[in-house]
Each structure stands twice: as C-alpha cells, then as structure tokens.
Amino acid sequence: MKKLIDFLQKGTCAATVVREMEQRFQEAGFEKLSLSESWNLTEGGAYYVVIHETSCLAFRVGEGRRQAPFFRLVSAHTDQPGFRLKPEPELEKGHSSKLNVSVYGGPIYSTWLDRPLSLAGKVAVRSQHLFETDVRVVDLTRPLLVIPNLAIHMNREVNRGVELNPQVDMQPLAGLDLSEHFVREALGETLGVETEAILDYDLFTYNTDTPMTTGWNGEFLSSPRLDDLVMVSAAMEALIENTPQTGVTVLAALDHEEIGSRTPQGGGSAMVSLLLEKIAACLGLDRRAFMDALTGSFMLSADVAHAVHPNHSEAHDVKVYPILGGGPVIKLDAGQRYMTNAADYSVYRQICEREKVPVQTFISRADKVSGSTLGPVMCAYLPCRIVDIGTPILSMHSAREMMAWADYEYTRRSFCGFYKL
Ligand SMILES: [Zn+2]
C-alpha cells in the first residue's frame, strides 16, 4: 500500500512518473541503458531505458529465451488529463495574476475547481551543444494555484449543470500583483539557473491532494492520478519481484496516451517495436527471428477500467459490468476499440485462475461508443497477441478518482503470474 501511495504522490506528471520509476528500478538493481548506444545484455539481466524523459521501457532477460512467447509485455501510460501551460502564460486581471492554459486530454473540468494545484513537467535549459538540450524534470510541489468556482449567488443554475469554457473558466489564479515572468522566475529559482537560461518548458497542473484510504472498512483508495499510475505501479512491482524462466519480460510505460499516443515516446510510434528489436538483436536474433518472436509474443495493454457506478448502473451494459473489489477487468468491444478476442482472453483468464485472482469483464452498452487505449494503437507496430485489461475504478478523469484496495493486489498478482512464467 505504501509503495502505491508514494508513487501516486511523486508521480505528478509523466516526467516525474518516469523519474520515480528510474529511482525504483535503480534501487532494484536494474541497469540503465542509453537509447542511442549499443547494449551489452546478458541472460538473467534486468535493464531499463528512458525515452525522451516521459516514457520508460524496463525489461528482464530470462534464461531459456527461445521459448514462445518471446516477449511478455505490459503496456501502461504515464500521462494524466489536466491543463498545460501555454507559452508566456502569465496573465494580469486587476490585481490578480493568472495562468493561461490549454486542456490536456479529457479532464472532468468541474472536479478541478477549488483545489490546491501545483505545476510539474520538464524544462529546457540552454546548453553547450545545439542538439543536446539540457532537459530538467521539475516539480514545484507547493500548492500554488486554484481555479475558483463562481459563487452560487452569481450562478443560480449551477446545480443544474454548468458548461465550463476552458479558455474562460479554467484559468488558475496564481497570486496578487506577481511579476511579468513569475513562472520563469520560479523555475530558475527551483533549478538554480538564470532565468535567461530557460529556453522553454512543458508544465502541467496537478492536484496536490494526498491519496487517502476511505470507506467504512478502509476498503477504498481515493486519490488523484489512479489512471494510469495504478497499472504502472502494479506492473513495476511485478517486474521487479519476478525473474522470468523464459523469454524477455517488459514494462512499457508510455506518455501521451491521453492525447492519442502519436508522439515519438507514445504508443503510436515505432519506438517500442524498435527497442524490442534492439533487445532481440543484442541477444543474437536476426531480423527474421525477431519477426517470428514478435508475432508470437503477448501483450497486456493495461489501463484502468470503469467499475459500475453505484448511482448510475444504467450507464453500463444490462448484464456485463465490473464491480469494485471484483478483480481486474478484461475489456471487450465488438468494434475492436479494445483488442481482446476469445483466444487471448482465455490466456489472461487462466493466468488469473492460477494466481487465484478473480477476473471480470467490461463491454459497453450497445448504444454507447466504448473508450479505447494503448492496445489498438500499439498493434500497428506490435502485431502480437494483445488483451486489454485494467483495474476497475470510479470517476475516471476526475481530479480525484477511486478504487478498491483489493483490486490493486489482484492486479499486481496477475502481473506476477504473467511475468514469472
Ligand atoms: Zn488511462
């Protein structure tokens, strides 16, 4: 429990998630590899590589590596919905200093109102070499911002539902009469560099609320960023704890899922496929052998799932819906917005059976379009067998989400079963 809570608190944006992953993999004895240098891999070895600061691929090499499936991969995402600062974001209105923001992904706007927020992300600092930017990961940690609600007296219809315009209603208040470049100044101070040396930054708002155990018997976890840090954390623990008997076990924690994954470090690029080919080549497989290995490999596309809402069961299918505490969820969709099919479904189901983990199923109502995630995007470059799964949660994309503690343990155990084969 403590490991997950710690991860949720420190993983405030994709860059800090990866920074925390690095810390944990280093503590567990994983060797850091460089993206663009040659690798010297050995059987029984454990490694990780950071991709453009916001994605991470970690893997273990088993002993009997030629047995299928060669790669057993869990994919999950490091980013979260929220708001991203625009360039020169400082705005003045009266004596109020505000920030100009863009929407990142699909946050539920209303849940971001009246919460103490901070900023985290990456900062590009002037460097000696033109193409070797000095990129620093930063988390300002203090509650610096609030997006204030409009009082009910000025908006009598508020409880009937209010449309929030992100350019008008979602600009965070930062302070009173702040300087013209207060963001750059804070970054310079935090990083210990001259303000002029800061060339650019990708900064995201995050909710500074702490994770909290709730429920009559302490059965729930209420926390920001459950989507998708719960899956990253469970897979990371499982990869650290389990040495594979055969093949290569991989965790790909990738950025930009919330905005479609089509970036160099996102699931929509060839990056993961190229890195898997590099692993195979370093282990002595030629390209043809790699292709055979890839098509016979297996991926769990791991992203949180929708548990049935206690006040809105009508939002789910009439018969098939997951519950909190019922174990990990296999996601199905007739339009293949989730990759799962019967043959691959049965593989994950049997892994869960072996680990004594209950398993559930999600499918949308026939009159609703289902969500989607990494599986359908990644199959473009990774034509392996794929199952979409996830821990059931409530309030997905709220600034604060909720899950059952039992499901974290069930999911973690299912990943252990998958990795230790
Ligand atoms: Zn997600």
Kindly tell me if the per-residue pLDDT of 67 is higher than 80: no
CA of 189 to the centre of ligand 1 (A): 33
Identify which has the larger pLDDT, 9 or 421.
Answer: 9
Confidence of residue 345 (pLDDT cuts 50, 70, 90): confident
Tens of pLDDT, residues 141-194: 999 999 999 999 999 999 999 999 999 999 999 999 999 999 999 999 999 999
CA of 400 to the centre of ligand 1 (A): 14
- 3-state SS of the chain is CHHHHHHHHHCCCHHHHHHHHHHHHHHCCCEEECCCCCCCCCCCCEEEEEECCCEEEEEEECCECCCCCCEEEEEEECCCCEEEEEEEEEEEECCEEEEEEEEECCCCHHHHECCCEEEEEEEEECCCCCCCCEEEEEECCCCCEEECCCCHHHCCCHHHCCCCCHHHHCCCEEEECCCCCHHHHHHHHHHCCCHHHEEEEEEEEEECCCCEEECCCCCEEEECCHHHHHHHHHHHHHHHHCCCCECEEEEEEECCHHHCCCCCCCCCCCHHHHHHHHHHHHCCCCHHHHHHHHHCCEEEEECCEECCCCCCHHHCCCCCCCCCCCCCEEECCCCCCCCCCHHHHHHHHHHHHHCCCCCEEECCCCCCCCCCCHHHHHCCCCCCEEEEEECEEECCCCCCEEEEHHHHHHHHHHHHHHHCC
On average, the pLDDT of the chain sits at 94
CA of 303 to the centre of ligand 1 (A): 5
Tens of pLDDT, residues 103-154: 999 999 999 999 999 999 999 999 988 888 899 999 999 999 999 999 999 9
CA of 8 to the centre of ligand 1 (A): 14
What is the predicted pLDDT for the residue at 66? 64
Confidence of residue 25 (pLDDT cuts 50, 70, 90): very high
CA of 10 to the centre of ligand 1 (A): 18
Average pLDDT over residues 244-258: 95
Ordered domains of the chain (ranges, CATH): 2-80+225-419 (3.40.630.10), 82-207 (2.30.250.10)
Average pLDDT over residues 335-364: 90
CA of 76 to the centre of ligand 1 (A): 8
